[in-house]
Structure 1
């Protein structure tokens, strides 16, 4: 980026207009080549302010009386001051008037201009960095060894100090009430708060934290070599729970999915996909949790990968009575808790909030009306998998699915 690019034209126009109105003198701002980019006098914009060239070269302010001003094109009597950002002269400020009238304003205007322009520069730098990080994230999560250059992606990551071949785990977060296409001020405030929280908890130099959209965020958490994988995973889950709790205190509700360990771009993409699947399991209501590790939904992942044809055939031929029962929702809910409580009768009754004798009666009614013995664990597991698959597909009861209605 050239020095002239550091000057935002609209910001310079506001500075020149505000300064001129405040001090009652003409004010202009030039780029690093001496051309006027902003002035309270529109006729001077884009003209050469020749007196600025010496100021740009010497990096010091210079007064020009009427005689001196006549020697320079586009110059009026007054003072020309350098604008210096990071020890580099990026332009000048010209103030018209006698030295005794304008000297008291010169330093103040120079400092204000440098503060505002430095802030603008840093904002632009942050925006460019965010854009590059989002591009890197996109390259990782869409990586395909047949069409992508892994070395180039790793090189892009090195620019941020990130080693993609180091052990790390993908974490996917999403704001529950947020809207993906919402660009409101509230959304921007929420995003800033979430990013601040994430950067505070994931503060290792190798941690990669990036917003994905208005409501989604991705962390590629660095796996510490000094800690055993299981211990690190527990630490990571605790970090995620802390992020969730802190965001909740400011009215932001999150869902968080955690993937497996990775050691390359390919496995990092897989870790991200697993984190997304864990999130999907929460969203589908399969697990009553706001933070879920992919290792806790392995059976759900198997269910999601079952072929449509096989699921439809098994559902129709073996479990037609179950799927067509009037109390089907109650049956499926009972099967869900029966399986999740590892076929423990007492715990299942507690999970369903019913008495043990009521559960005995329900088991008997399921056998009589649906032809399903709840102690035939193979069939119970099969129905559980079909029900999970149905929920993960996000299909309503009125639509065709692997479970025949």
Structure 2
């Protein structure tokens, strides 16, 4: 906060005054710089004018008022009034009602405690303000539309927050689909603990996911995502998936990379890979491409290639077999190892599929078409 704009909130002032009054046995009054009572152990005084505070604020020095002096000042009772400082600025006063000789010994303690609580509240407020600004920045980057805000404006906002968007970053998303609403804040704290570089931009994008623009220096981006997934699993259980969109710099690249990371998470879920903690868009480029095709065209393609194969009761097993075989380079041994079955079992399944389809899978052009049809079918209607 800028100097001159520091203020005491009425809610916090009343909490401090009420609690402190109960502890020390003397009424505590807290005012703003204009002498208006914001909090008091005697609620009837809230909102009234405390004239003695004006001089205390002006001089930045404590003042005592006996019974005679108090009668001459509006809203003042016998006691003492002390200036309250926050970041070197007087933001108001704290007063104790009673004989000055009796309450003076409590004055410095009460003021010190008040300043500590105000400082803590100010830090929390500043942090919340910054978090909101960072989230707004992430929104501007991940949903960037040059017709609404230019790249230069987004980059300037980032610089004000201490971020240089020209630096390379790994773009990640943490899926919140299966995270209860009341746990989102805790998950976000864990993500902040993992990504602590001063150039890391982290924030929740609505209720759907957490976005991370992690300053990339060296190493494997997937290892970075893996550490995040491990930390989340350890702290909150296996309810998260981390999507990786690749390395990018600049507003447009970061926007597109974020879209890729989000697509990786969603495509992994559609494809049934629920056990995969990290979804790298590099592994889902084909899925991403097929997802851009219209729903109707995608469905017709899958139907024309697969026929009634998806209607069979063992379709899930057959689809898993076809996917593993294609993704292991149509290599029987590697595919059998991936499926944890004997080579002969794999051969039997492939022959069964060939019999149902009426075409040989040894024609790799047809085999690739079947693989793509399996992905398209897995994407369903959305």
TM-score norm. by structure 1 comes to: 0.86
Counterpart of 1:273 (choices 255, 259, 271) is 259
Separation in structure 2 between the aligned mates of residue 131 and residue 112 of structure 1, nearest angstrom:
29
Aligned residue in 2 for 1:125 = 126
Separation in structure 2 between the aligned mates of residue 249 and residue 325 of structure 1, nearest angstrom:
39
Q: Does 1:339 align with 2:326?
A: yes
Higher mean C-alpha deviation, range 132-141 or range 18-27: 18-27
TM-superposed deviation, 1:175: 4.6
Aligned residue in 1 for 2:148 = 147
| Aligned partner of residue 246 in structure 2, secondary structure | strand
Aligned residue in 1 for 2:100 = 99
1:320-371 deviation line (CA, Å, top 9, x unaligned)? 2434445433322211111111111012122222222222222222222221
Over 3 Å counting, the alpha-carbon distance change for 1:4 and 1:324 in structure 2 is: closer
Aligned residue pairs: how many?
Answer: 379
TM-superposed deviation, 1:241: 1.4
| Aligned partner of residue 250 in structure 1, secondary structure | helix
TM-superposed deviation, 1:5: 6.0
Over 3 Å counting, the alpha-carbon distance change for 1:159 and 1:39 in structure 2 is: same
8 Å CA contact 1:79–1:95 kept in 2: the answer is: yes
In the TM superposition, 1:307-326 aligns within 5 A as 307-326=294-313
Separation in structure 1 between the aligned mates of residue 19 and residue 295 of structure 2, nearest angstrom:
68
8 Å CA contact 1:157–1:164 kept in 2: the answer is: yes
Separation in structure 1 between the aligned mates of residue 18 and residue 310 of structure 2, nearest angstrom:
74
Higher mean C-alpha deviation, range 366-375 or range 212-221: 212-221
Higher mean C-alpha deviation, range 335-344 or range 20-29: 20-29
Q: Does 1:189 align with 2:174?
A: no
Over 3 Å counting, the alpha-carbon distance change for 1:95 and 1:135 in structure 2 is: same
Which sections of structure 2, spanning at least 5 residues, go unmatched? Answer: none
Higher mean C-alpha deviation, range 257-266 or range 31-40: 257-266
Q: Does 1:258 align with 2:244?
A: yes
| Aligned partner of residue 241 in structure 2, secondary structure | strand
Higher mean C-alpha deviation, range 357-366 or range 99-108: 357-366
8 Å CA contact 1:140–1:265 kept in 2: the answer is: yes
Aligned residue in 1 for 2:269 = 283
Q: Does 1:356 align with 2:357?
A: no
TM-score norm. by structure 2 comes to: 0.91
Q: Does 1:206 align with 2:192?
A: no
Q: CA RMSD in A?
A: 2.4
Separation in structure 2 between the aligned mates of residue 197 and residue 161 of structure 1, nearest angstrom:
19
Higher mean C-alpha deviation, range 314-323 or range 382-391: 314-323
1:49-78 deviation line (CA, Å, top 9, x unaligned)? 111111111222111122322332211121
TM-superposed deviation, 1:252: 3.4
In the TM superposition, 1:5-404 aligns within 5 A as 6-175=7-176, 177-179=178-180, 182=181, 184=182, 186-199=183-196, 203=197, 205-213=198-206, 216-224=209-217, 227=218, 232=219, 234=220, 236-253=221-238, 254-285=240-271, 287=273, 289-392=276-379, 395=380, 401=381
1:383-404 deviation line (CA, Å, top 9, x unaligned)? 2222223333xx4xxxxx49xx
1:303-335 deviation line (CA, Å, top 9, x unaligned)? 222344543443344432434445433322211
8 Å CA contact 1:55–1:61 kept in 2: the answer is: yes
Separation in structure 1 between the aligned mates of residue 132 and residue 145 of structure 2, nearest angstrom:
21
TM-superposed deviation, 1:157: 0.9
| Aligned partner of residue 336 in structure 2, secondary structure | helix
Separation in structure 1 between the aligned mates of residue 125 and residue 242 of structure 2, nearest angstrom:
30
Separation in structure 2 between the aligned mates of residue 370 and residue 151 of structure 1, nearest angstrom:
56
1:284-321 deviation line (CA, Å, top 9, x unaligned)? 24555211322222222222223445434433444324
Higher mean C-alpha deviation, range 241-250 or range 129-138: 241-250
Over 3 Å counting, the alpha-carbon distance change for 1:255 and 1:338 in structure 2 is: same
Separation in structure 2 between the aligned mates of residue 390 and residue 138 of structure 1, nearest angstrom:
33
